[in-house]
Structure 1
Amino acid sequence: MTPLFFTTPRTARYLSLGEPGPAIEHVWVCLHGHDQPTADLAEQLRNLDTPERLLLLPEALSRHALARTNGEEPRTGAAWFAPDSLLADLADLSTYLDSLTKEILAKCAPGTPVTVIGFGHGAAAACRWLAGTTVDYIRLIMCAPVFPIEIDRRATLVALPERPVLVISTTNDAYTRETIGEGLMQDLLDVGLSAQQRIVDSGPLPLAALGASAPV
């Protein structure tokens, strides 16, 4: 049988590290990896949590309970897309991220710069979103990025605006060798994007990995 689709409103969840307002100088939209709880992502980003920076952590719409051991508190994971509903999921995430980001920016000073950072599958989700969004951003950061085989990586990168891209690779990735950036950097350069790569240990993201020119 062929599944049919029906569009219905969804209630999304997100974390905000910082309060939107005129004192905010930078907004970072931070997309978690596959099944990564937003609280875990917040821990990875603790070095970026400063009074002048607002960290916006949207949770993907496909939520589900994660397996837990005895005595462990319930934990929720979420996925940005599923292989058999990719186009619908990508359309939903674009609508969701557009609306949420614009609502936050409307409460900040006009022209507040936006950085987008994606982890694992969140990097692929970020690229698909930014390829079609009207939200202006100054830089894309991809941490241990993973592009599922269902997503045409080269075609996605071609559609990105000409903004700097930083690829952060980990020394002991938890996915595949794709996360160390082999092939991705070449694709980025081939499509004409300004791209750099840095290698870091796993754990909280160090400020030094973002480069001297990063908005801090």
Structure 2
Amino acid sequence: MAADPFLAAQQHSLVVPRTARYFQLGNLATAKRLWVVCHGYGQLASFFIRHFRVVLEQAPDTAVVAPEGLSRFYLQGTSGRVGATWMTREDRLSEIEDYAAYLDLLLQQLLGACPPAVEVTLLGFSQGASTLSRWLMRSTFEPARLVLWAGAFPEDVESAAAQALFRRVPQLSYVCGDADEYITEPRLQEQLAHLAQLGASPRLLRFGSGHQLDAEVLRQLAQEPGPR
């Protein structure tokens, strides 16, 4: 007996408007530099952006914007602290397209509020590193700098798209702590080899700590002149 097709669940998708939030330090209208920074898994942008106060202390003409992942959840159980994520493995392609569209729209709005010659640095921490990378491969935007911090450049991408991305990014940095429990030394070397295969030659910055941001490295990045 043939199975009734109406008894089998059929997946459908519907694109809907929704509210995305982001947090800002500094003044967009007078900024000579704009940093867009993407948090890691389980973090909230409101807490993540606090680490970047040192950037404004070092370079007051900078504005920093931290978008937040579109999905939030309780970190433990059904109450208490809340975190956000950019994507999971469930319906992942739709989630990637959603956050790419979100970041496109946000960047367009930010650039419209900044002086025309503003220099843009994109920094992704942990999950935020792959988030920025996937977004940029879907975009035509050319940032002055891309900083991948304790995260991975995606492996499941087309080599041609990745190579095209690195050709249009003047400066690429990879930052990792010496005691990072996720990016161990073997994992770091694998990541650097992966980037080299794609034609990228990142500058490697290290610091003596674990899977976290580091104020001294942020100050160093903030005081460096942009690529010429």
Q: What range describes the TM-score normalised by the shorter chain of this pair? A: 0.7 to 0.9
Letter in 2 for 1:30: V
Write out aligned runs for 1:139-158 (5 A): 139-146=145-152, 152=156, 155=159, 157-158=162-163
State the TM-score, normalizing by the size of structure 2: 0.80
Verify: 1:109 aligned to 2:115, yes or no: yes
The structure with the larger Rg is 2
Q: Deviations over 1:110-146 (max 9, x none)?
A: 1211110000010000000111213331111011014
Contact kept, 8 Å, 2:120 with 2:145, in 1: the verdict is yes
Match of 1:78 among 84, 91, 103: 84
Shift of 1:38: 1.6
Alignment size in residue pairs: 208
Contact kept, 8 Å, 1:157 with 1:188, in 2: the verdict is no
- How many angstroms apart in 2 are the aligned matches of 1:60 and 1:189? 29
Shift of 1:174: 4.3
Verify: 1:90 aligned to 2:120, yes or no: no
SS in 2 for 1:45: helix
Contact kept, 8 Å, 1:146 with 1:179, in 2: the verdict is no
Structure with the higher helix share, 1 or 2: 2
- How many angstroms apart in 2 are the aligned matches of 1:19 and 1:159? 32
Distance 1:186 1:107, change over 3 A: same
Verify: 1:14 aligned to 2:22, yes or no: yes
SS in 1 for 2:117: coil
Gaps of 5+ in 1: none
Match of 2:214 in 1: 204
Contact kept, 8 Å, 1:200 with 1:209, in 2: the verdict is no
Contact kept, 8 Å, 2:41 with 2:84, in 1: the verdict is yes
Gaps of 5+ in 2: 1-8
Q: Taking every aligned residue pair, what percent have the same amino acid on both sides? A: 29
Q: Deviations over 1:7-46 (max 9, x none)?
A: 111100110011210x201001100000112233223323
Match of 1:63 in 2: 72
Shift of 1:76: 2.4
Distance 1:200 1:180, change over 3 A: farther
Contact kept, 8 Å, 1:120 with 1:179, in 2: the verdict is no
Shift of 1:214: 4.5
